[in-house]
Structure 1
Amino acid sequence: MGKYQADVEKLLEFVGGKENIAAVTHCATRMRFVLNDPSKANEKAIEELQSVKGMFTNAGQFQVIIGNDVSTFYNEFTAVSGIEGVSKEQTKNLAKQNQNAFQRAIAVLAEIFTPIIPAIIVGGLILGFRNVLGEINFDGATLASRSVFWNGVNDFLWLPGEAIFHFLPVGITWSITRKMGTTQILGIILGITLVSPQLLNAYSVGTTAAADIPFWDFGFFQMDKIGYQAQVIPAMLAGFLLAYLEIFFRKRIPEAISMIFVPLFALLPTILVAHAVLGPVGWWLGDLISKVVNAGLTSSFSWLFSFVFGMLYSPLVITGLHHMTNAIDMQLIATYDTTNLWPMIALSNIAQGSAVLAIIFLHRGNKKEEQVSVPSMISAYLGVTEPAMFGINLKYVYPFVAAMIGSGTAAMFNNIMGVRANAIGVGGLPGILAINGTEGGGWLSFAIAMAIAVVVPIFLTIFFEKQGIFNKEAQVATSGASTEASVPVEQSVAELTTNAEKNIRKELLFSPGNGNIIALDEVPDPVFSKKIMGEGFALQPTDGKIYAPVTGEVISIFETQHAIGILTPLGAEILIHMGLDTVELKGTPFTVKVQVGDQVTPETLLAEMDLAKVKAAGKKTDVVVVMTNSEKMDHFILTKQGDLKTKTPIGEFFIYQ
């Protein structure tokens, strides 16, 4: 009888039996099912299984968290069920059967834009700084007009700004070929043919007479030489055509000559069709979408449109639907040179951070919660809201509702004033850098909207807590008192007596590398941030060298090299998980330096992770360290956070013996 046979048999029953399983695979910690009918899964019964630490559904997959020993559990499950496992990529493809067409389209859109978001953010910051240099008047003149140096800086910064936004089609076509698993250099070349200097710049088309537009003359037909700078939809249509043509010819051309003819037959027809059909159609469609959105935000009902969008943007982030706004924003900028959508997104970031600020005030003295709330508030104010939403606001619900109302109110005021942004990517408080200073009151109007996004969520969060409105979870901490102080004296004495009778010993944790140490709640993966796998912390590394966070013995190395298990002398099972969702990279970015059975210390180099490859694959590089056998843990303390050197003592955990 296997180690997990009883639980395996019950899990098979509780997921609806063998006939309900379309596919099953596993990663470092989770069983990943694609179920034919997800409603047949008995989640309550599954949660009660001893070996199950939790579950959730994501992207059409029903994921059951097992822990470090998931590979053993998986082997026993496939043996008992008789189901052959499939690769994680196959599982993702099969999981699409549980998504409707709209969900699949949004997922594709997210996968296209995720790898290029860092460039868009940098571009937004650059254009925001140029905004300050070239548009803000100081005593009647701009910095660029007053100073030769600042004029040179302003002129120089246009170089990367143009590369990111005007040549955006290159990034889009590359990202599509990457997502589709086709030849990425062909995607880059296709993108360049859409923005080549030989073409009439897209920004000049509107001011050029029809007779003056250059064209290719093929004798029996002519084709306009028009570029598609900053155009999103023409690039997406062309990118998908290239990818599908390459896949088509790959299957039909013999491998011996495929290197020559597959790129030729895929690229040249795509370039021709892109300029003859897809470009003009995509331009028209993108122009139509941007005009519809702009009309909604400038109509007599714009106050309602903006209030609803401002309220619902945060829930969109939870579902992943917010990715569609990137394409709409870029199209608005391409059509109108500015966007009235992005300022409202920046205000939503601020509102979420302000709700957390109110929680910090209400629960001041709760040191444990402040390890999550303070950094997540800062993160939200700088434009990244997931830690604030998942770590604090959704936990209590009422701050999330307060943030939604504050965001909607601020967005409504912002839109009534007609504020627009020159670029996207700069969210939160720095979002003011991207605001167009000459439209709708410019920076002053946006500053007032920012104040609304700060004040309203703070006021409503305090009001909701005091009145018990939308309060999901009873508060332990009270204003002005620590968590410990609010526990009844009798309970505290009982706990002290019980702990005194137990043999509790301490082990130390060390930074596994150079970089930023963060609380587990800030990790953008619910399995870790909700501590389903156990307590711990994460490192945002600045280099690829990963060291042991504890002293102990290597007990497991996952086959895809991205996760390592260590058993400490006191019996704690520590999982070191390199990157998020990196199992599908199949070990490519990782070089493990140890073997199962090796004794390690914080001086031991466990592995090297190629950060550039992980980022290029669209994955996060966070190194997560968790204690997976949490039933042995009494409590955990993270004593240091922030930018630290490798091998620095950063925490301790106490183990029952």
Structure 2
Amino acid sequence: MSKFTDPAKDLLEYIGGKENVAAVTHCATRMRFVLNDPAKADVSQIESIKLVKGTFTQAGQFQVIIGNEVPSFYNEFTKLADIDGTSKDEAKVVAKKNMSFIQRMIAHLADIFTPLIPALVVGGLILGFRNVIGDIKLLEDGTKSIVEVSQFWAGVHAFLWLIGEAVFHFLPVGITWSITKKMGTSQILGIVLGITLVSPQLLNAYGVPGADTIPTWNFGFAEIEMIGYQAQVIPAILAGFLLALLERKLRDFVPNSISMIVVPFFALIPTVLIAHTVLGPIGWTMGSFISDVVYSSLTSAFGWLFAAIFGFAYAPLVITGLHHMTNAIDLQLMSEFGGTNLWPMIALSNIAQGSAVLAMIYINRKNEEEKQVSIPAAISCYLGVTEPAMFGINLKYGFPFLAAMIGSLFAGVVSVGSNVMANSIGVGGLPGILSIQAGHWLMFAVAMLVAIVVPIILTIVFANTRMNKFSFNRK
């Protein structure tokens, strides 16, 4: 009998038994259940299990936070329950049956961008580093940049753009690939479609506003503008879904004997044509409108109000899964304005949640058992992963979560009020400063300090208030 046997038995009982489990899988730290009747799960009893660090429901899945030992626990659980595990993708399909239309749309958006995040993070860090060595006058009494005085660093600066361009200018390739992967269609066709949106043959999207003439494909009876969609998000999403839908419909009635020839041909060519005549222009207009609204809101006289609302509400958005929408907005802002003033607030919110946990470590410093959860949670939060902190500590007590939201509010106001811009999506914690445009490092550091200090102070104050109230009530 392993150390996971008894906790696994308890979890199976409290979750409603084997018959209540429609599907189960796990990720890096959590068990993910799709339950036939979520009401049968006894959350308080589940959270009383010593190995469990918290629970929450997201994207139609009841998730139980176990920690790094989850693979071993998962194996013991499925063996005891005599349940066949499922893949994450299969669990997501089952979970979507319990989701509303809006929740399914958000889940689809998350599925598209999640595989792209590692590249986006790397790209953001690279752009930040290039700004430091290429744009800031650090040498010769503040008159020259490192690139201007060193051929080696000039070469590094030029070389790194190879990666930065691949990540951001050719982003539509990643998006169309991710969509075909998600939809279970031909991924190579998704890659080809993406390339047709950013081909060097086309007029680069960044050159369109200042172009005197736009080249066209002339078909005699009609002309199509040869415009690229570098870094454009919505055109790529629309084109990717059209390709996947066409391929799936064609496979429904095209005989297998000729499907290898017919399906790719009649899925790809119409999609590319429609993408450049209809979906591309529509998507560009939609993306520009969304980015203009967000950017104008953040830079207007009432930008502080928008920042306050977003900073306060971002953590609850994470719980609902709505935060995934910000990825598309950030990328569109980068395309339109050369950076994003939205993402810095996300990094600050993560820092604020970690700071609230830090305060709880101090408050419960004699609780050795809780330290096993709180210390790793604070570290991971400061490195950009907030789930252990939010669900394991802050939401458990309530008041640290509120303290973090308020700290995020003030930090967001400082960031937006100082016009802080990030090069890209990056690591959403303390290392996030590396993704901030170098000229804004100082003010972002100030905002980070606010996101650290305010939640710590408020968490301690709230805790003392609760203790004093409890003592008063007892008297």
TM bracket (short chain): 0.7 to 0.9
Alpha-carbon distance between aligned partners in 2 of 1:269 and 1:222, rounded to the nearest angstrom:
16
CA shift, 1:312, in A, is: 1.3
TM-score if structure 2 supplies the norm length? Answer: 0.83
Aligned to 2:183: 180
- Is 1:122 paired with 2:125? no
Alpha-carbon distance between aligned partners in 1 of 2:91 and 2:392, rounded to the nearest angstrom:
29
Aligned to 2:101: 101
Unaligned runs of 5+ in 2: 1-8, 65-72, 471-475
Aligned to 2:205: 202
- Is 1:144 paired with 2:147? yes
Is the Cα–Cα contact under 8 Å of residues 26 and 74 in structure 1 kept in the other structure?
no
TM-aligned CA distance change 1:403 to 1:55, over 3 Å? closer
Is the Cα–Cα contact under 8 Å of residues 144 and 150 in structure 1 kept in the other structure?
yes
State the SS of the aligned residue for 2:208.
helix
Aligned to 2:315: 314
Is the Cα–Cα contact under 8 Å of residues 59 and 96 in structure 2 kept in the other structure?
yes
Superposition map of 1:240-255 within 5 A: 240-255=241-256
CA shift, 1:168, in A, is: 0.5
User: Residue type matched to 1:443 in 2?
Assistant: W
Is the Cα–Cα contact under 8 Å of residues 58 and 320 in structure 2 kept in the other structure?
no
Aligned to 2:441: 443
CA shift, 1:376, in A, is: 2.7
Alpha-carbon distance between aligned partners in 1 of 2:429 and 2:337, rounded to the nearest angstrom:
23
CA shift, 1:134, in A, is: 1.3
TM-aligned CA distance change 1:424 to 1:469, over 3 Å? farther
State the SS of the aligned residue for 2:191.
helix
Alpha-carbon distance between aligned partners in 1 of 2:432 and 2:74, rounded to the nearest angstrom:
41
Alpha-carbon distance between aligned partners in 1 of 2:209 and 2:295, rounded to the nearest angstrom:
19
What does the per-residue CA deviation read over 1:90-121, in whole Å, with 9 as the maximum and x for residues that have no partner?
66435423211111011001111111111111
User: Residue type matched to 2:102 in 1?
Assistant: F
Which structure would you say has the larger RCO, counting Cα contacts within 8 Å and 6 or more residues apart?
A: 2
Aligned to 1:620: none
Is the Cα–Cα contact under 8 Å of residues 233 and 283 in structure 1 kept in the other structure?
yes
CA shift, 1:143, in A, is: 1.2
Number of aligned pairs?
Answer: 442
Aligned to 1:166: 169
Is the Cα–Cα contact under 8 Å of residues 23 and 34 in structure 2 kept in the other structure?
yes
What does the per-residue CA deviation read over 1:435-458, in whole Å, with 9 as the maximum and x for residues that have no partner?
2345xxx22222211111111111
TM-aligned CA distance change 1:469 to 1:344, over 3 Å? farther
Alpha-carbon distance between aligned partners in 1 of 2:327 and 2:468, rounded to the nearest angstrom:
31
Alpha-carbon distance between aligned partners in 2 of 1:199 and 1:332, rounded to the nearest angstrom:
22
Alpha-carbon distance between aligned partners in 2 of 1:245 and 1:127, rounded to the nearest angstrom:
37
CA shift, 1:346, in A, is: 1.3
Alpha-carbon distance between aligned partners in 1 of 2:468 and 2:174, rounded to the nearest angstrom:
43
State the SS of the aligned residue for 1:454.
helix
Alpha-carbon distance between aligned partners in 2 of 1:86 and 1:357, rounded to the nearest angstrom:
36
Superposition map of 1:153-552 within 5 A: 153-209=156-212, 212-364=213-365, 366-438=367-439, 442-468=440-466
State the SS of the aligned residue for 2:231.
coil
CA shift, 1:203, in A, is: 0.6
TM-score if structure 1 supplies the norm length? Answer: 0.61
What does the per-residue CA deviation read over 1:202-261, in whole Å, with 9 as the maximum and x for residues that have no partner?
11111112xx11110011100111111110000000000010111011111110111111
State the SS of the aligned residue for 1:187.
helix
TM-aligned CA distance change 1:426 to 1:142, over 3 Å? farther
Alpha-carbon distance between aligned partners in 2 of 1:307 and 1:432, rounded to the nearest angstrom:
20
CA shift, 1:318, in A, is: 2.1
Alpha-carbon distance between aligned partners in 2 of 1:125 and 1:24, rounded to the nearest angstrom:
41
Is the Cα–Cα contact under 8 Å of residues 125 and 425 in structure 1 kept in the other structure?
yes
CA shift, 1:404, in A, is: 0.8
Unaligned runs of 5+ in 1: 1-6, 79-84, 473-657
Is the Cα–Cα contact under 8 Å of residues 24 and 86 in structure 2 kept in the other structure?
no
Aligned to 2:22: 24
TM-aligned CA distance change 1:460 to 1:56, over 3 Å? closer
Aligned to 2:60: 60
Is the Cα–Cα contact under 8 Å of residues 464 and 470 in structure 1 kept in the other structure?
no
User: Residue type matched to 1:458 in 2?
Assistant: I
Query: Larger Cα Rg: Structure 1 or Structure 2?
Result: 1
CA shift, 1:66, in A, is: 9.8
- Structure with greater helix percent: 2
State the SS of the aligned residue for 2:228.
coil
